Chains A and B, each alone.
Chain A
Amino acid sequence: MSSAFKMADFSFAAPIIFVALWACVVLLASAFSTKSSKLGPLTAFGFVIGLVITGYFWTALEQPRMSVFSGMLVLDRFSLFLDMIFLLAGLLTSLVAHGYVEEHGFAESEFYAVIALSVVGMMLMGHAGDFIIVVIGLETMSLGVYSLVASWTDKRKSTEAGLKYFVMGAVASGFLVYGIALLYGATGSTRLLVITSRAAAHIGDPLYIIGLFMVFGALAFKVALVPFHMWTPDAYEGAPTPITGFMAAAVKTAGFGLLVRAVSTIFSGESFAYGSTGWINIAWMLSMLTMTVGNVLALRQTNIKRMLAYSSIAHAGYIMLGVIAIPVLGLDPSAVLLYLLQYAVTTIGAFGVVAWVGRRDAENTGLEQWAGLGARKPAAALAMTIFMLSLGGIPPTAGFFAKLYLFKSAMGHPSLLILVVIAAINSVISIFYYLKPIVAMYFRDAGGEPIAEPMRSSSLSVAITLAAIIVFLLGMVPGSALEMAIKSTIGG
């Protein structure tokens, strides 16, 4: 009870509160309108305003770190940058989903409100200064995403995916809470900074260490690192395609944001990081396994959604490399942030194109159905090409620059050199399967097969165009984004 909250604290939580209120507006709008035709753009509009508010906070923030609601929420540029990624992901997703839902006609009108609410959960995770907020944010995000995955109630696979994701996610949440309980038992606090400050007294304390690893495991589940990745392909494949993109982009970003926050606080002690039971060794192994397994399994996929699912696992491995580099290089999250930003935009764009070529009664996610798309629909094919190149890390796209920056910053430390080499080899492998759709679109004849043909949806094309432009800009003129990422330091 060090300092009671002040009413002014509410104004510092404005981005979160605004998105939450906007979610309620969307919910009410969905309750009172008989047609859901305007809900997607309405939600997207809210995200745009949210982006503006968050951007204002990002520029106007004076201290490196503000702690509001007696330490419950943390306001620093790092968390505000994460907020912007979430909001951007939400914006693109709701635009993509708008066209997709209209075409397939499945979702209830609550769909968009749930997207907005789970974005609120992610923002809470990003701003968390206390494990209680972590749990609330994580659950808000997860429950929203579980139900979004299962929202296509006519499709068995969607329900199955939702259920699988839910059951596995519930176990992960259990681990998280148990880990937090052990940490609380050891240190007597749930506040991240308090735990960190008391950590020195708990070197070798099994309660603390087991607690740490349980928290780590739960987060590894959320970002789908390899031993915890089993749910990913099924959940990604079964979910409605825009939601798959949302999961790959936003949920992963939220998980990694929290991981970075944890790495800079409760994991930060020397004795917890290095040595035989240090987390860095384990994270090193996980990172290597994740990128290798993800890429190798992605090679064999013929279904584009499944392929992108494995690709997202591989990318989690790269990002993990960046996370390991953070404490090694003195708490600079800029490489991770930049990578997360570009990955979020690229992957939503890629899934957006996958959604785009699906028609009612035919989702067209098989590679063979994409044959000849380049000749028939050059715009869609071009967009997909851009996103695939970016995912593969080929210039002049965002993926190239972000990966370069990530590898370069990790190479600053000799202990990570081997991992960087492995990651580079993996990148090369990954290009092979990222080229597969491009080859199919441009160099293969459609024959007599029915060709996938993009649906007509202005909001979807807007979203994909926007994503493609961002990917290009980040690749060609990354300066300002890089500067922003570098300024987005973790406070305190």
Chain B
Amino acid sequence: MDRRKLYVSLLLAAAALLLISSVALAQAPSTSGGVAPHAQFYAGKLASSKKLSPLAMLWAMRVLAGLMLVGGIFTIGSRNPVVAALCLVGTLFCTGIIFLLLHATFIAAIQVLVYAGAIMVLFVFVVMSVGHPEREEIGLSRGIISKLIGGAFAVMLLLRVSPVYMSYQRTVNAAGEIISKAMPPVSSKYGNVEHVGKLLFSDYLFPFEAISILLLVAIVGAVMVTRHRRRDDNKGAAAAAASAGEG
């Protein structure tokens, strides 16, 4: 992939991101109670006229989805790990904005905070520790067969899934009226902190607790794999423990 083209598209993407995110921010519901359900978002019945029209929202959604796709492709396709990491940041940021458009403000903020912020910082840290892009090339393998299979699968997915997506799109006609009832109505408190919190500690209590086991095993496993102990240290286990404590 041509670097220049890549970076120009990145720049454009960044500009679009800034624009859209500020629109989305202005769109964010201001009170904790009166959040419009996303069924109404598709129906174009948002409470006040100053909000964007549903068609504009739909276009924002399309643009964001396109940006996410481009970002995703560059993330796996770029030979430069830095570009890959930054494209991933962009993709995750777009995801956050899509959440915002759907009035899931809390999830949006957490998405940006945790993924685009914290987790990507770790990615970036690893990239910086690993080395220089000219020497450390990553990216798609050149194998033509794997590309063909992957491409065929992608085309099949696109052909099979996109008609469904189109049918969802057709739920809003040019005048912005809702046509089908594909989107079920949701609670008026949809997506705010209180709503998410209540769900998390009632219906999703057990998964919420189970996640802690998952995190525990991830941490313990990572420690186990990365901590090195030389064989001759076996004689003095205390010495090994001491050095592990320091390191």
Given contacts A132-B207, A136-B210, contact A34 B238 (CB under 8 A): yes
* A:31-45 near B, CB below 8 Å: 34-36
Whether A144 pairs with B202 at a CB distance below 8 angstroms is no
Check if A146 is an interface residue, CB within 8 A of chain B. Answer: yes
Task: With CB as the reference atom, state the residue of chain A lying closest to B220.
Answer: A110
| Structural contact, A207 and B184, CB atoms closer than 8 A | no
| Distance from B232 Cβ to chain A, minimum over Cβ atoms (Å) | 10
* Those of A122-162 within 8 Å (CB) of chain B: 124, 130, 132-133, 136-137, 139-140, 143-144, 146-148, 150-151, 153-154, 159, 162
Chain A contacts of B205 at CB under 8 A?
5, 69
A139–B210 Cα gap in the complex (Å)?
11
Bound Cα distance A108, B243 (Å): 14
Closest B-chain residue to A20, C-beta based?
A: B213
A60 adjacent to chain B (CB < 8 Å): no
Chain B min CB distance to A284 (Å)? 22
Nearest residue, chain B, Cβ from A141: B217
- In the bound complex, residues from chain A placing their C-beta under 8 Å from that of B199 are 1
Contact between B224 and A143 (Cβ–Cβ < 8 Å)?
no
B224 x A108 contact (CB < 8 A)? yes
B225 located at the interface, meaning its Cβ lies under 8 Å from any Cβ of chain A in the complex: yes
Shortest A149–chain B CB gap in Å is: 9
User: A5–B217 contact, CB under 8 A?
Assistant: no
Once bound together, how far apart are the Cα atoms of A111 and B221, in whole Å? 8
B206, A133: Cβ atoms under 8 Å? yes
**Out of B184, B210, B225, B237, which one reaches A153, CB within 8 Å?**
B225
Question: Using an 8 Å CB-CB cutoff, how does the interface string of B20-47 with A read, 1 for contact, 0 for none?
Answer: 0000000000000000000000000000
Q: Which of A90-98, A112-120, A344-352, A379-387 contacts B (4 or more CB under 8 A)?
A: A112-120
Nearest neighbor of A140 in chain B, beta-carbon distance: B214
A72 to B199 Cα, complex, angstroms: 13
For residue B98, give the distance in angstroms from its CB to the closest CB of chain A: 14
Pairwise interchain contact A210-B157, C-beta atoms closer than 8 A: yes
Given contacts A114-B221, A143-B221, contact A207 B210 (CB under 8 A): no
A13 interfacial contact with B, CB 8 Å? yes
Of residues 158 through 214 on chain A, the ones whose CB sits less than 8 Å from some CB of chain B are 159, 162, 182, 185, 188, 205-207, 210
Residue of B nearest to A113 (CB): B220
Question: What 1/0 flags go to A67-83 for Cβ under 8 Å of B?
Answer: 01110110000000000
B118 at the interface (CB under 8 A from A): no
Chain A positions within 8 Å of B220 at CB level: 27, 110, 113-114, 117, 147
Number of interface residues of A (CB under 8 A): 54
- State whether B210 touches A137 (Cβ < 8 A): yes
In the assembled complex, A322 has its CB within 8 A of some CB on chain B: no
Question: Known contacts being A27-B220, A146-B221, A147-B222, is A205 close to B206, with CB within 8 Å?
Answer: no
Q: Are A13 and B206 in contact (CB under 8 A)?
A: yes
Most B CB contacts (10 A, CB to CB) among A24, A36, A117 go to A117
Cβ-defined contact, B213 with A121, below 8 A: yes
Residues of chain B within 8 A of A210, CB atoms compared? 157, 160-161
How many B residues are at the interface, by size bracket?
A: 35 or more
Closest to B222 in A: A147
Q: How far in angstroms is the closest Cβ of chain A from B148?
A: 16
B 128-145 contacts with A by CB, 8 A? none
* A330 part of interface (Cβ distance < 8 Å): no
Q: Is the CB of A207 within 8 A of B221?
A: no
Tell me which residues across on chain B come within 8 A of A130, comparing CB atoms.
207
Whether A72 touches B161, Cβ cut-off 8 Å, given contacts A121-B213, A140-B214, A188-B184, is: no
**Which secondary structure characterizes the binding site on chain B?**
helix
Contacts known (A108-B224, A150-B225, A151-B224); A4 close to B164, Cβ less than 8 A: no
Please determine whether B203 and A5 come into contact, CB atoms closer than 8 angstroms: yes
The residues of B that contact A68 with a CB separation of less than 8 Å are 206
Judging by beta carbons under 8 Å apart, are B203 and A153 in contact?
no
- Chain B residue nearest to A13 (CB atoms) is B206
Bound form: Cα–Cα A4–B211 in Å: 19
A34 x B213 contact (CB < 8 A)? no
Q: Does B62 contact A (CB under 8 A)?
A: no
Question: What 1/0 flags go to B221-242 for Cβ under 8 Å of A?
Answer: 1111111111100100110010
A105 at interface, CB cutoff 8 A: yes
CA distance A115 to B231 in the complex (A): 22
Does B218 lie at the interface of the complex (its beta carbon under 8 Å from any beta carbon of A)? yes
- Which single residue of chain B is at the shortest CB-CB distance from A147? B221
Query: What residue in chain B is nearest A37 (Cβ atoms)?
Result: B237
Say yes or no: A111 contacts B214, CB within 8 Å: no
One digit per residue, 1 when the CB lies within 8 angstroms of any chain A CB and 0 when it does not, for chain B 186-206 equals 000000000000010011111
Are B225 and A151 closer than 8 Å at their CB atoms? yes
Chain B residues positioned under 8 Å from A120 (CB to CB) = 213
**Residue in B161, B184, B206, B216 whose beta carbon sits within 8 Å of that of A5 in the complex:** B206
Q: In the complex, which of the residues B203, B217, B234, B237 contacts A121, with contact meaning CB atoms closer than 8 Å?
A: B217
Q: How far is the CB of A202 from chain B (nearest CB, A)?
A: 10
Contact A162 B225 (CB under 8 A): yes
Determine if B247 is an interface residue (Cβ-Cβ < 8 Å): no
Complex: how many Å from CA A147 to CA B202? 33
Task: Determine the chain A residues whose CB is within 8 A of the CB of B228 once the complex forms.
Answer: 153
Residues in B neighbouring A5, C-beta threshold 8 A: 202-203, 205-206
With a CB–CB cut-off of 8 A, which chain A residues contact B234? 105
Nearest CB in chain A: distance from B166 CB, A: 12
Complex alpha-carbon distance, A4 and B222, angstroms: 36
Q: CA of A137 to CA of B210 in the docked complex: distance in angstroms?
A: 8
Which of A107, A108, A133 interacts with B210 by CB under 8 Å? A133
**Complex: how many Å from CA A13 to CA B225?**
30
With A5-B205, A206-B161, A210-B157 as contacts: A136 and B223 at CB distance below 8 Å: no
Q: Report which residue of B161, B184, B238 has the largest number of chain A beta carbons within 10 angstroms of its beta carbon.
A: B161
Question: Known: A108-B229, A153-B225. Contact between A114 and B217, CB under 8 A?
Answer: yes
Residue of B nearest to A130 (CB): B207
* A111 to B184 alpha-carbon distance, docked (Å): 48
Taking the closest CB of chain B, its distance from the CB of A38, in whole angstroms, is 13
Q: Which of A34, A106, A110 has the most chain B CB atoms inside 10 A of its CB?
A: A110
Q: Bound state CA distance, A130 and B205, in angstroms?
A: 13
In the A-B complex, the 7 residue pairs with the closest CB atoms: A147-B221, A206-B160, A69-B206, A117-B217, A110-B224, A105-B234, A72-B206
What would be 9 A-B contacts, judged by CB atoms less than 8 Å apart? A1-B203, A34-B238, A110-B220, A110-B221, A110-B224, A136-B214, A140-B213, A143-B218, A210-B157
- B residues adjacent to A (C-beta < 8 A): 157, 160-161, 163-164, 184, 199, 202-207, 210-211, 213-214, 216-218, 220-231, 234, 237-238, 241
